[in-house]
Amino acid sequence: MIFKENATLQEKLAILADGAKYDVACTSSGVSRKGRKGEIGNTSASGICHSFSADGRCISLLKILFTNECIYNCKYCVNRCSNDIPRATFTPEEVCTLTMEFYRRNYIEGLFLSSGIVESPDHTMELICQTLHALRTIYRFNGYIHCKAIPGTSPELVEEAGWYADRMSVNLEFPTAKGLRELAPNKTRETILTPMQQIQNGVRESRELLGMKGGNQSAYWYTQKRLGRALPGDTEKEKLLREKDKDRKKVINKGTSEEKSPERQKAAFTGVNGTALTRIKKRDISRGFVPSGQSTQMIIGATGESDYEIMAVTEALYQNFDLKRVFYSAFINVNQDSTLPAVDGQPPLRREHRLYQADFLLRYYGFRAADLLSESRPFFNTYLDPKCDWALGHLEQFPVEVTKADYQTLLKVPGIGTKSASRIVKARRTGMLDYQSLKAMGVVMKRAVYFITCHGKMMYSFLKIDEDYITRNLLENDRDVMKGFGEKVTYKQLSLFDDNGDMRAFS
């Protein structure tokens, strides 16, 4: 190991940002908190990006490691202990000063603190907690904080961090337990899922006892609710418990008026048994516990999982752990480890992109993993987005008549999103719809035209509901920024074109 003795702040920042860059989530969303007198900062539920790096990824948070020293030897990770790279460690003061000074200049929306494992998971988590404690109480920072829960940390420390953080995340690392065993020998599924469950319970308790504190439910949760499906994390027992807690909350809220005093709130649940939040009486509860919820990420393309397996895992995570987001990270072979697949040139960015699109279909559009893929068709089409791909396989459901279709049916149309669908539903209560106004509502016509009618007519009379015809036209209009990334392909390789690449066959 190379230790950087007396590294300057700038050198440390270069090393510890470099070590953190493979972590995907840079979101600052999920909680809206007003500014406070005597403090600095607020948060916005939609999240705010502040810049975009040369790879096109958003920079919202100061994403750094506390240290890149690590006792673990995960084969995929650049910080593994056997790697011969410069190592550095921040002090809590350095992290706080950087966060505050960057925040004042509006470079960032807050801090994303992760870390290599020094000595033990508990020791590492203690360092993280110390830093966050200083940032919140000494530096009076009221902006966004995302921090990692280190697998294998004791529950007290996970909870401690949760009282300072807005969002926490535990990385799933790989879609399957087998992949994890092979590539991250020091981690197990259990050490990952345990803190995840603890945070889930803590968030739920916090919401029931303290209110939402500006946080929102996950998009997945709202979508399931709208469709009348079971909500994430629901079991019969929990439903009952929730009912009971609701009554208790009513009692607590009664007589405390709008301005709930923290003392009274704390006093109100003396004697609550089995709570995930054991430190609630000793901590500043004004922000709630992890008010913005939790997320996770997994690496795509290092182990042999299919897209179907990945989407099924994703769906299970939303349902059972009430996650806000699942992030995907196209595998980059930074260590050239012989047990890992050799990735020739580009990481599988296109595949990653399709997974994100499908993830949105699960969270906002009410699709299920099994609607999109199956055992017999386990991969997404890399040339078409998953929604177009789905629609082409279900042409019997089209065209959709926009003047009559309900919200959920509109959502299934390629080119119509959540905003435009709700605008359509509202607009037709006030007057006649036409193609011009659909455009103004944000409908992406170059995709939607093949799938809709307005007052019984398609936009152009020559359009036909035909799989090959639509596919060809969709591909021609494709101005995807991910084009050329990932797999090296030409249109010629598309199975729907004949061997000579003769596209006239479809005209």
| Residue among 182, 480, 228, 177 at smallest CA distance from 339 | 182
Q: Which of residues 134-173 bind another protein (CB under 8 A)?
A: 143
Crossing angle of helices 219-226 and 349-365, in 10° steps, is 50
Could you please report the per-residue DSSP string of 298-319?
EEESSS---HHHHHHHHHHHHH
Q: For another protein, which stretch binds (CB under 8 A), given 58-66, 405-413, 447-455, 460-468?
A: 58-66
CA dihedral (385, 388, 389, 390) positive or negative: positive
C-alpha to C-alpha distance for 495 and 505, rounded to whole angstroms: 13
C-alpha to C-alpha distance for 464 and 425, rounded to whole angstroms: 25
Say whether residue 78 binds another protein (CB under 8 A): no
Q: Which is nearer to another protein, 169 or 471 (CB)?
A: 169
| Residue among 342, 336, 298 at smallest CA distance from 316 | 298
Least CB distance to another protein at residue 36 (A):
7
Least CB distance to another protein at residue 429 (A):
7
- Side by side, the strands of the sheet bearing 294-300 are 61-65, 110-114, 144-148, 167-169, 294-300, 325-330
Least CB distance to another protein at residue 448 (A):
15
Binding mask 346-385 for another protein (x = CB under 8 A): xx-x------------------------------------
Binding mask 290-329 for another protein (x = CB under 8 A): ----------------------------------------
- Taking CB under 8 A as the criterion, the residue among 2, 36, 137, 281 binding another protein is 36
Containing 157, the helix (H) or strand (E) segment is helix 155-164
Q: Which is nearer to another protein, 224 or 382 (CB)?
A: 382
Is 295 within 8 Å of 328 (Cβ atoms)? no
Say whether residue 37 binds another protein (CB under 8 A): yes
Say whether residue 491 binds another protein (CB under 8 A): no
Q: For another protein, which stretch binds (CB under 8 A), given 31-39, 165-173, 219-227, 470-478?
A: 31-39
CA dihedral (404, 406, 408, 411) positive or negative: positive
Q: Which residues contact 344 (CB under 8 A, 6 or more apart)?
A: none
- Taking CB under 8 A as the criterion, the residue among 102, 222, 356, 364 binding another protein is 102
- Taking CB under 8 A as the criterion, the residue among 1, 2, 93, 101 binding another protein is 101
CB atoms within 10 A of CB 59: 15
Say whether residue 98 binds another protein (CB under 8 A): yes
Binding mask 411-440 for another protein (x = CB under 8 A): ------------x--xx-xxxxxx--x--x
Residue 59 amino acid letter: I
Instruction: Give the footprint of another protein on this chain (CB under 8 A).
Output: 9-10, 13-14, 17-18, 20-22, 34-42, 48-59, 62-64, 98, 101-102, 104-107, 143, 330, 332, 346-347, 349, 423, 426-427, 429-434, 437, 440-441, 481-482, 485
